[in-house]
Amino acid sequence: MAKPTGFLEYQRHAPLERDPQERVNDWIELYVHQPDAMLKEQGARCMDCGVPFCHTGQVMNGGTSGCPINNLIPEWNDLVYRGLWQEAYERLDKTNNFPEFTGRTCPAPCEGACVLGINSPAVTIKSIENAIIDRAFENGWVKPNTPEKRTGKQVAVIGSGPAGLACADQLNKVGHHVTVYEKSDRIGGLMMYGIPNMKMDKRFVERRVDMLRQAGIRFVTDCEVGVDISATQLRDQFDAVVLAIGAQRPRDLPIDGRELNGIHFAMDFLHANTKSLLDSELADGNYISAADKNVIVIGGGDTGTDCVGTSMRHGCASITQLEILDKPPLNRAPTNPWPQYPRVYFLDYGQKEAKVKFGADPRAYATMTEQFLGDADGNVTGLRVVDVEWVSAENGGGRPTLQKIAGTTREISADLVILAMGFLGPSEHIIEQFALERDGRTNIKGVRSDHHTSVEGVFAAGDARRGQSLVVWAINEGRSAAREVDAWLMGETDLP
């Protein structure tokens, strides 16, 4: 590395955030770039560690450790330190189709696996990545990946999230004619409608889609497979079909009172909000408003946080987020050693905003909802909840069991309840139309290979194959599926 002692000389400086009191009044992005001098210092902290775990990309103890797309992190950190921004972008472009997506929305498992993180704050990898790609676009270094010649092969990609777009980009690079089908009115999948604008400005999604369109990829919107076009039609028209349809079925909470008005799935809440924002800046009213309401978000994770942040911008009267798990420790527990993803307590952007406005972290840990309460008109008015504890088996084996704590049952007022408890798998009607085999978790099963399904010429990628996961895993899935498709079509592949 160009600065072998940088990690000893410079402290970690987290990405710069806009003031929570200011940003809850708009939908502008949360973060701003650090000055060049600070970015160079942060790049200099990347130590000459010998074996860089930051780009290993593996699952450890149920969490992601390192970068699943194997970004060449030490190389572009060093290049940023030396002021060689274009060279840094060229390294980043080798492994990541969409750094502007990961640099904004990825939870940075690369930082969790950073060797410096063993006993010091990790390198600020994510913010450096985001600065590189934004500078690359500003300077015109990002060009459409237009192939020199075409193979004549036709490939349909179903779904325009990061897995589908990455797959389409890779297949287009090697000359296949690619058509992407999207059931919504805009391209981008969860990057467009599942993640709110203050976290992922849709201008950047549209900018990338325009680049892919210039490269020759065809996009078809408002077209739902199984409704507007059948599986048979797709297989007849295309040489290969890739299903990157995501894990769309939300996990429900089927308890007493579930039928009450005012209880919504997180994706319905987030999707409607972003569509209304893009269509009319919320003037059309075609969204689920949290304004002046007591809001309960059930479930943690990124989706739960996005629901908190969105409710704050609507002007909610109060916000509570219920988590069934225990509160994480401030530092790594002995059972969560480096380089596993650190399961530690921190305030994400939505919780920071709620704390500033209401005075406390909105999360209530180890809390389970037993019943939804309502009024005579069928509207939700509250929840009956109880504290729980996780009890390990006496012999120390097996999973901990959940037990209610006597005397802790209580009621919480609510005018709006948002269910953000994850997803169960891909859309069933598409799987049935293609007559695909599923695995034990109802995901599309790879039979001939990881991505080749039980039906010849039909492939699967992303959450539809591996289950709900991170955007960086989606890009990994799209790239690896493209390799398999290309090899199946051409007998060999040069795709990385």
Give the per-residue pLDDT at 421. 96
| Residue position matching structure tokens 């599942």 | 194
Give the per-residue pLDDT at 395. 63
The reply to whether 154-249+423-490 and 252-419 are identical in fold is: yes
d(CA 322, CA 361): 11
The pTM of this model reads 0.96
d(CA 448, CA 24): 49
Q: Is 472 helix (H, G, I), strand (E, B) or coil?
A: helix
**What is the per-residue pLDDT across 193-206, written as a single tens digit (0 to 9) for each?**
999 999 999 999 99
Per-residue confidence band for 496, with pLDDT thresholds at 50, 70 and 90: very high
Q: What angle do CA 26, 32, 37 make, to 5 degrees?
A: 165
**What is the per-residue pLDDT across 287-306, written as a single tens digit (0 to 9) for each?**
999 999 999 999 999 999 99
- Give yes or no for residue 32 having a pLDDT over 80: yes
Give the per-residue pLDDT at 464. 97
d(CA 180, CA 162): 12
d(CA 351, CA 367): 17
Name the residue among 52, 54, 36, 45 with its Cα closest to residue 12: 45
Q: What share of the chain in percent tops pLDDT 70?
A: 99
**What is the per-residue pLDDT across 228-259, written as a single tens digit (0 to 9) for each?**
999 999 999 999 999 999 998 999 999 999 99
**What is the per-residue pLDDT across 360-395, written as a single tens digit (0 to 9) for each?**
999 999 999 999 999 999 999 999 999 999 998 766
Give the per-residue pLDDT at 397. 65
Per-residue confidence band for 158, with pLDDT thresholds at 50, 70 and 90: very high
CATH level 3 topology of 6-138: Fumarate Reductase Iron-sulfur Protein; Chain B, domain 2 (1.10.1060)
Architecture of domain 252-419: 3-Layer(bba) Sandwich (3.50)
Domain residue spans in the chain?
6-138, 154-249+423-490, 252-419
Per-residue confidence band for 400, with pLDDT thresholds at 50, 70 and 90: confident
d(CA 388, CA 60): 27
- Which H or E run contains 415? none
8 A C-beta contact, residue 470 and residue 486? no
Q: What is the token pair recorded at 484?
A: 């398999």
* Right CATH for 154-249+423-490 from 3.40.366.10, 3.40.50.1100, 3.50.50.60, 3.40.50.1820: 3.50.50.60
Give the per-residue pLDDT at 40. 96
- Give yes or no for residue 396 having a pLDDT over 70: no
Instruction: Provide the mean pLDDT of the chain.
Output: 96
